[in-house]
């Protein structure tokens, strides 16, 4: 086989020893009844560990030049299927129905870092019947996703993650475990997908519209955020009255609010 030249454009930082893949497989929660979707199998170092614990692994890889390596691991592991596609172009619900029917679904991946957030949003918003997502991400991204209201790393994606899942940090992985070595360390996180979302807003689009507007102007007060968001439909006094009535102070900043607070506020302004 010709030497494979790793492609930066696809975030190809491959794990170099099976120890971390074994730890990820052991932590992901899948068992012999489970189907695993792996995103970006690379040469298959994590794929083979996942195949040992699950009923079936279906991996999605964008780079067809990895075929010779993945063909080999498929020959040795009959419960591995590889689909060569961009994960973001797949209809995940159809994919699960076709590839992994009647199984509990787990997503596992050493994610390509250049599209971590789009992949996470795509999985969470798909409403697919996924039990949990176990992924390796940059350490800073893990900190952002796990951060608490009022901290500098708390952001719109953190609130979205808290809406769809219960998140926890599993373990850190030093940059020396990859080839080529990335500039930063990584962290493996687990998101247990909530069957019932953390809150039940009357209008989900409105709630996420408010969240987006708050974090786009995170140093402003909530009153000023809402004033810009409603774009003149309400004056500042009307907004202040509602905020105070709901138990928040007039100088509350939106970045200190939990998903629960955002739901209460959005429900109150629904229909305006």
Binding residues for ligand SAM, rule: CB under 6 A, are 10-15, 39-42, 45-46, 60-63, 86-88, 110, 112, 115
For 272, counting Cβ atoms within 10 Å of its Cβ (0-12 exposed, 13-18 middle, 19+ buried), the class is exposed
Q: Which is nearer to ligand SAM, 116 or 162 (CB)?
A: 116
Work out how close the CB of 251 gets to ligand SAM at its nearest, in angstroms, rounded to a whole number.
Answer: 43
Q: Which is nearer to ligand SAM, 24 or 263 (CB)?
A: 24
Q: Which is nearer to ligand SAM, 87 or 207 (CB)?
A: 87
Closest CA to 164 of 202, 209, 205, 133: 133
Work out how close the CB of 57 gets to ligand SAM at its nearest, in angstroms, rounded to a whole number.
Answer: 12
Work out how close the CB of 97 gets to ligand SAM at its nearest, in angstroms, rounded to a whole number.
Answer: 20
Work out how close the CB of 17 gets to ligand SAM at its nearest, in angstroms, rounded to a whole number.
Answer: 10
Work out how close the CB of 95 gets to ligand SAM at its nearest, in angstroms, rounded to a whole number.
Answer: 12
Q: Which is nearer to ligand SAM, 108 or 191 (CB)?
A: 108
Q: Which is nearer to ligand SAM, 12 or 74 (CB)?
A: 12
Work out how close the CB of 253 gets to ligand SAM at its nearest, in angstroms, rounded to a whole number.
Answer: 36
Q: Which is nearer to ligand SAM, 49 or 255 (CB)?
A: 49
**Cβ–Cβ contacts within 10 Å for residue 105, how many?**
22
Work out how close the CB of 5 gets to ligand SAM at its nearest, in angstroms, rounded to a whole number.
Answer: 12
> Regarding beta strands 178-179 and 14-15, do their DSSP bridges make them parallel or antiparallel, or are they unpaired?
antiparallel
CA distance 174 to 171: 10
Q: Which is nearer to ligand SAM, 61 or 255 (CB)?
A: 61
């Amino acid at each position: 086989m010709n030497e494979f030249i790793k492609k930066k454009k696809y975030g190809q930082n491959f794990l170099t020893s099976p120890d971390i893949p074994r730890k990820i497989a052991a932590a992901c929660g899948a068992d012999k009844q489970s189907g695993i979707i792996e995103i970006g199998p690379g040469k298959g170092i994590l794929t083979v560990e996942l195949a040992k614990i699950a009923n079936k692994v279906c991996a999605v890889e964008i780079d067809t030049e990895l075929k010779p390596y993945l063909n080999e691991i498929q020959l040795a592991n009959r419960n591995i299927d590889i689909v060569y596609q961009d994960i973001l172009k797949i209809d995940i619900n159809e994919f699960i129905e076709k590839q992994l029917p009647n199984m509990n679904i787990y997503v596992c991946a050493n994610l390509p870092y250049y599209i971590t957030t789009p992949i996470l949003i795509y999985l969470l918003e798909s409403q697919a019947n996924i039990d949990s997502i176990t992924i390796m991400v940059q350490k800073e991204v893990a900190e952002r996703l796990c951060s608490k209201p009022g901290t500098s790393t708390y952001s719109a994606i953190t609130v979205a993650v808290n809406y769809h899942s219960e998140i926890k940090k599993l373990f850190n992985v030093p940059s020396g475990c990859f080839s080529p070595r990335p500039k930063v360390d990584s962290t493996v996180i687990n998101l247990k997908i909530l069957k019932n979302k953390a809150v039940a807003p009357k209008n989900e689009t409105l709630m996420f519209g408010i969240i987006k507007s708050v974090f786009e102007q995170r140093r402003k007060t909530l009153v000023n955020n809402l004033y810009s968001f409603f774009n003149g439909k309400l004056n500042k006094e009307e907004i202040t009255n509602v905020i105070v009535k709901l138990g928040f102070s007039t100088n509350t900043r939106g970045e200190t609010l939990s998903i629960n607070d955002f739901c209460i506020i959005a429900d109150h302004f629904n229909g305006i």
